[in-house]
Amino acid sequence: MELRERVNVAVKQAMREKDAARLSTLRLINAAIKDRDIAARADGQENGVDDSEVLAILGKMVKQRRESAKTYEEGGRLDLAEREMAEIEVIEEFLPRALSDAEVSAAIDAAVAEVGAESIRDMGRVMGVLKSKYTGQMDFAAAGPLVKARLAS
């Protein structure tokens, strides 16, 4: 089932169950997807965004909410931080399973071999391969330093 369909099915289920918090988060997801669809159509993509772009949207939403939760915790607003964390749980239901440290390392090695990377100048190409294959499964902010260390050795 396509990611959009899964979100729409979850919206209908949340409406039936009268789960207001979950429904609100699911509507935010739909709004973000539709917003990106509109931008994509303006750029000439007739069908809007595909699943890989939807995964990127969801990953960005999780990252934003983690940053907000951290800020709220530092400001002593634990109620708002808890709400952000609850939204993260709902969003993560639609993301693929995150890779373990060993799997991330293996993916980096495979991407380096695929690109034929030999120096730090090839880092952008390696990261491009990782982003195309592992969107939503890997934290690229954490993977960047690992790729850099791998290419420096």
Choices 3.30.70.590, 1.10.1510.10, 2.70.70.10, 2.60.120.620: CATH for 3-92:
1.10.1510.10
Cα within 13 Å of Cα(131), Cβ side: 13
Radius of gyration for the alpha carbons in the chain, expressed in angstroms and rounded = 18
Choices 1.10.287.3510, 1.10.10.10, 3.50.50.60, 1.10.10.410: CATH for 101-152:
1.10.10.410
Separation CA 95–CA 3 (nearest Å):
9
Give the tens place of pLDDT for each residue, 24-83: 999 999 999 999 989 888 888 787 788 878 888 888 898 899 999 999 999 999 999 999
pTM of full prediction above 0.75: no
Separation CA 142–CA 98 (nearest Å):
13
Give the tens place of pLDDT for each residue, 48-63: 788 878 888 888 898 8
